């Protein structure tokens, strides 16, 4: 039984770690958004951009080092990881921004609920992009 659990944990290690760090990144995104939107009084869009930047910085480090265990140190490969990661995150950041703008500013839906829903969509798209495009040559990308 213990060996079966170990096998499953090893098989799904990247997905499990992505989930754990995804929750951390999402919490950072939401807390930063709420802090600037509700307490500092910045606009929805500006607060969302600041939250996105903070979350992407945390996501790159955790994805590279622990989720996909990328050992890239060669400059060209590292630059590919950085630019493709931030490029994909920029695309999903625009998706997040569009969802938040339409839902909160145009439809007057609950900003916290919509931020959570938007983050779920973004997390799924980001995992697929990281696994298939960005860290595809790292040891855990097959998970």
pLDDT in tens, 44-63: 999 999 998 899 899 999 99
> Which of the four pLDDT bands, split at 50, 70 and 90, describes residue 32?
very high
The DSSP code sequence of 77-98 is: HHHHHHHHHHHHHHHHHHHHHH
- Residue partners of 68: CB distance under 8 A and separation at least 6: 14, 130, 131, 134, 135, 138, 139, 140, 141
Residue 140 reports pLDDT greater than 70: no
| E-state strands within 16-93 | none
**What local confidence, expressed as pLDDT, does residue 54 receive?**
94
75-97: average pLDDT:
92
Q: pTM for the whole thing?
A: 0.72
């Amino acid at each position: 039984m213990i060996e079966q659990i170990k096998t499953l944990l090893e098989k799904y290690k990247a997905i499990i770690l992505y989930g754990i760090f995804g929750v951390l990144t999402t919490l950072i995104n939401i807390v930063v958004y709420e802090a600037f939107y509700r307490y500092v009084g910045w606009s929805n869009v500006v607060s969302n951009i600041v939250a996105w930047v903070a979350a992407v910085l945390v996501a790159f480090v955790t994805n590279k080092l622990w989720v996909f265990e990328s050992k890239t140190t060669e400059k060209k490969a590292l630059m590919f990881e950085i630019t493709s990661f931030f490029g994909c995150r920029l695309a999903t950041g625009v998706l997040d921004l569009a969802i938040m703008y339409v839902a909160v500013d145009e439809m007057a839906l609950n900003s916290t609920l919509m931020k959570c829903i938007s983050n779920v969509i973004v997390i799924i798209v980001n995992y697929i992009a990281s696994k298939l495009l960005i860290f595809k040559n790292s040891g855990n990308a097959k998970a």
